[in-house]
Amino acid sequence: DIVMTQSPDSLAVSLGERATINCKSSQSVLYSSNNKNYLAWYQQKPGQPPKLLIYWASTRESGVPDRFSGSGSGTDFTLTISSLQAEDVAVYYCQQYLFIPLTFGGGTKVDIK
Amino acid sequence: QVQLVESGGGVVQPGGSLRLSCAASGFTFSSYGMHWVRQAPGKGLEWVTFIRYDGAIQFYADSVKGRFTISRDSSRNTVYLQMNSLRAEDTAMYYCAKVGYHDPSGHPYYSDYWGQGTLVTVSS
């Protein structure tokens, strides 16, 4: 199975500051046939289901604020929140969907400093 | 708007069975694959199973293979998860989720909509 490793486990950032979450896959999730990275990011707030933020590693889902951005390729990926807002407090998960079983990272908890 | 509503969760003894349902609306159900994803209390997300848009292909996590069965009924816009031989480690919130990308090949892509979940507790 593909192991997705997120870092850090948690971080606290001041309002308006940048938050950066890393995700590393044990194998490349770049599919050579279409040159797409099969990597998604989700946000989960307490008591709620996950919400899709980013897919294909860098495509923002409709309605997601542009302060959220995804980058990276192959095995190393990053989710960046450019200016943290109070409503961004949540746990963030990366997921690879190239290989079966689909696998998630362990999650990164983001709080306000 | 897309809605996914799970039902069927509850408390069951080890070795017992349960069938979860997920009623879908707001999109062309017969055009999209569906996932079940679970989350144990206080833990992360675990993918469980996927079914192709037409029901012809299913994939399972090793942890549930041979015990769980996913199916769908396009006449009812509903996807099901039959869970047999339940274990304590199956205790979790179970979410159904719509695949965000239509591909006739049946590849399980990311999920763009999730239900609110239904809680399954396996305990004696």
Is residue B116 classed exposed, middle or buried when 0-12, 13-18 and 19+ CB atoms within 10 A define those classes?
middle
| Alpha-carbon distances of B95 from A14, B28, B112, rounded to whole Å | 32, 19, 13
Q: Which of residues 65-84 of A touch B (CB under 8 A)?
A: none
Optimal mutation site among B51, B111, B113, interface A, most CBs of chain A within 10 A: B111
**Interchain pair A52, B46: CB under 8 A:** no
The CA distance from B49 to A98, in Å, is 15
Optimal mutation site among B45, B49, B60, B64, interface A, most CBs of chain A within 10 A: B45
Q: Which of B33, B17, B9, B52 is nearest to B97 (CA)?
A: B33
Contact of A101 with B45, CB cutoff 8 Å:
no
More confident site: B101 or B62: B62
Q: What pLDDT digit, counting tens, does each position of B23-72 carry?
A: 999 999 999 999 999 999 999 999 999 999 999 999 999 999 999 999 99
Q: Where are the beta strands (DSSP E) in chain A?
A: 4-7, 10-13, 19-25, 30-31, 36-37, 39-44, 51-55, 59-60, 68-73, 76-81, 90-96, 103-104, 108-112
Amino acid, res. B103: D
CA distance A93 to chain B (A): 8
Length in residues, chain A = 113
The CA distance from A23 to A108, in Å, is 10
A97 contact B CB<8A = yes
Query: Which of A49, A51, A93 faces B44 most closely, judged by CB atoms?
Result: A93
Q: What pLDDT digit, counting tens, does each position of A51-109 carry?
A: 999 999 999 999 999 999 999 999 999 999 999 999 999 999 999 999 999 999 999 99
